[in-house]
Structure formats: C-alpha cells, structure tokens
Structure 1
Amino acid sequence: MADILNLEELHFLGIKVVYKDLVDKGYEVLNVRKELDINPQILAKKDGIFQMIVVKTAYYPDMGIVLPETIQQVRKLAAKHDATCWYASVGIANANGENDEEMSKPVSGGEFYINYKGLIPFPLTKK
C-alpha cells in the first residue's frame, strides 16, 4: 500500500499548485518557502507590485485555512515592503478513492483531485 501524504508533503503539493498558477498568469516568482511554519510561502511580483502569498493546504473534503494571527503577521511584513497580501486555499483528494474516506487519503505518487480557485485577497481589518 502506498504511503499517505504527510502534512509537509501535502503542504508542498499545494504550494506547487499555486506556483504553477502564478507562473501561468505571468507572475515573476521571486522566492518559495515550503516550511509549514513560515509565512508567506511565496513572494512574487506582477506589474511592478510585490505579492506575498500564504498557501494553506488540507486533505479532502477540507480546504486550507489561514489563521488570524498569520494574517496579522504577514500584513506587518507586507507593510514594510509595500507588498499586497494574498491567500491561496488548496484542498487535495485521492483521485482513486471510491468514497470520502479513501479520497481524504492522497498517497505519494498517486493521482489527485485539486480544489483551488485562485488567489483570495486578505480580509479587511476590523476597526
């Protein structure tokens, strides 16, 4: 039996999905960090504007979520660098799963269904 992707592998797969989307849309990707505890994961540039992108990935049926403390941390960093903040939520399923339980266990070297709808602007701050 193939190994189920661990959290680091799942996270890195989500980053690769977002990276490809950015390149396809004409972004210049300047840096990628794959560590789970580093935010943002991707630093890119488009139309002369720096973009900080937080990627969060989850097992099917969930989607990655960004925590409020991560939003605040990245916002502060972005303000120092005059950058725009984005969030990318990715969900990954085992494409060979025949039910929800099997689909929630993507395996190394397997086929995947990817749920990703593009970049989402950071939520507005509450005053």
Structure 2
Amino acid sequence: MGKPLTERELHNLAMNIVGKELEAQGYDFMGVNSEPKRNPQFVCLKDKILHFIVVRHVPYPQNPHVYDEALMLKMKNHANKHEARTYYAGVGLSNAENPELPVYLNEPYAVDYIALIEIKDE
C-alpha cells in the first residue's frame, strides 16, 4: 500500500481534473487559486465572458453534485459584481479497488465528475 493522499493533494488532484477539462473546452485562465478555502479556484475567460469556478474534492460516499448553497450564493453575488458566471465543480475521488479505503499515492482511483454546474440567479 502506498501512502494515503492528504486533503491538500486530493484538492490539487480535483483541480487538475477540472483544469484539464476547462483547457480542452477552450477556457483561458485569468487566475488560478489552489488554496481550498480561497474562492474561486479558477477565473477564466471564454467567449468574452468571465467565469468563476469553485472546485471541491468530495470524499466518498458524499455526492459530488451537491454543493454548499450559502457559499455558492456568496460566490454568485461576488461574480455578479464582475458580470461573471458562477460554476461549481465537485469532484468525487475514491479508491478504485475499494471505495471504503483512502486514495493512495500512485494507485488507481475512481473519478466521479460530470461537468460544471452553473449557479443561476434565483
């Protein structure tokens, strides 16, 4: 067994997964913040529109598609001041062989990530 990934390493892995997808979809990175508690993690430009993207690593068995509504409303209000769109990217990461075990360094892992979830105005 390798060593279990730390919360920081899991967060960075989630950021890499989302970052690669954003790059593939043609987003231009204006700012990247890898601190888990400083939001948003990505500020991107696409089609002349600013996008604020909050990335969260979500441990198994929690649902990566469920987000903290208070946090995202706060982000949405902040984004509105900048005429930006707001998104949540929850990335579920689990041990590929047994989801009850931690994700280990250099061992297979499963990813539960579908797409960005846009946070719309009420």
Fold shared by both chains (TM-score > 0.5): yes
Whichever residue aligns with residue 110 of structure 1, its letter is: E
- Deviation digits for residues 2-44 of structure 1 (CA, Å, limit 9, x no counterpart): 2211211111111110000000011111111111111111111
In 1: Cα distance, 2:93 partner to 2:120 partner: 23
Unaligned runs of 5+ in 2: none
Residues 86 and 120 in structure 2, CA contact (< 8 A), matched pair in contact too:
no
Q: Which amino acid aligns with 1:116?
A: Y
Matched ranges for 1:59-98 at <5 A: 59-64=59-64, 65-95=66-96, 97=97
Q: Which runs of 5+ in 1 are unaligned?
A: none
Give the alignment's Cα RMSD to 1 decimal: 1.6
Q: Summarize deviations over 1:62-110 as a string: whole Å, max 9, x none.
A: 2444312211221121011110001111101222x2x3323xx101222
Tell me what 2:28 maps to.
Answer: 28
Partner of 1:13: 13
Structure 1 segments, 4+ long, off by >4 Å, are none
TM-score normalised by length of structure 2 = 0.89
Q: TM-score, structure 1 length as denominator?
A: 0.85
Q: Given the alignment of the two structures, is residue 122 of structure 1 paired with residue 119 of structure 2, yes or no?
A: yes
Cα deviations across residues 43-72 of structure 1 (Å, max 9, x unaligned)? 111100000001111123324443122112
Name the residue aligned to 2:54: 54
Give the corresponding residue for 1:101. 100
Q: Contact 1:57–1:63 (CA<8 Å) still a contact in 2?
A: no
Q: How many residue pairs align between the two structures? A: 121
Aligned amino acid, residue 7 of structure 1: E
Q: Is the 8 A contact 1:94 1:112 kept in 2?
A: yes
C-alpha deviation, 1:124, in angstroms: 4.4
